[in-house]
Amino acid sequence: MSFEEKPIRLGQSNVFINSPLGIGTWAWGDTMFWKYEAATGEDNCRKAFDTGMKSGINFLDTAEVYGYPGSISERLIGRFIKASNERPVVATKFAMFPWRLTEWQFNSCLRGSLDRLGVDAIDLYQIHWSLPWWVPGRSLDVWTKCLGDAVESGKVKAVGISRYSEAEMRRVHALLKARNIPLASHQFEYSLLHRQPERDGTLQACKELGVTVLAFSPLAMGRLTGKFGVANPPPSRRHFGNVDMRLVEPVVELLRTIGAAHGNKTAAQVALNWCICKGVVPLAGARTASQAAENAGALGWRLTPAEVQQLDDITKDLS
């Protein structure tokens, strides 16, 4: 069924994105997992950026550790913004390394991201991960205070978290609410091959609290695109959505069958649309113009409730 996309508000913040789909830029500059090539990578990423913007995807998610060391992803986005006539909505993240112990370090990292992106204020600033209780480091309350201070300073428009537990998210939400600052987003892994957030209460808690879910690895690091299979498994480092390909192949076949009924949508487009139907904003990686264009094909239509149920049923026991 066709569907007119409308702007999405990030939580209860004043930040809006054009559509319920973002571009994940982990691969922009990364050589460990994604084999970024300096000679051609920047041009390819620029074309992905331009294609996304023209296709109505104006939301980019990055982090200071993407393309580390050097924070190449942020630097690329900064250059693309400078050369563009349009200003995308940019989310980035503070890396919770255990040796980062002070508010000064937080503010130094924030200034670094602002400089690399070339913006006066970051649209969405997130804590990249939560430290386990047994790792030395500052408390959740301290870093939440830093987020609130960043909003009040005007350097950040909205704040979010990534990969927190339900209990930790509720604590952050309560601390920010006491300062009349909304927790705009919570980013975590969510896809047809990783539905744990449905069972551990995190997804439902986000809906309850009015926190927008940003889903990373919505295509399970390529497993849901049809690119990989039993005879051609994904590279070993691609650990998100790591389900036996013998179990994934029937899922991809169903994605293709459903896509055929919607004007020959690809498996990836159907998988992204499933995420959108679940009320989350998938962050789909794109290193080339063709990948960005394919991702954009997940917009402008919706799966039927029966098709969503089919996909729910075939993947219910995979994670």
Q: Where in the sequence numbering do the catalytic residues fall?
A: 66
Find how far residue 94's CA is from the centre of its chain: 14
Amino acid present at 82: K
Amino acid present at 123: D
Exposed/middle/buried for 283, CB within 10 Å: 0-12, 13-18, 19+? buried
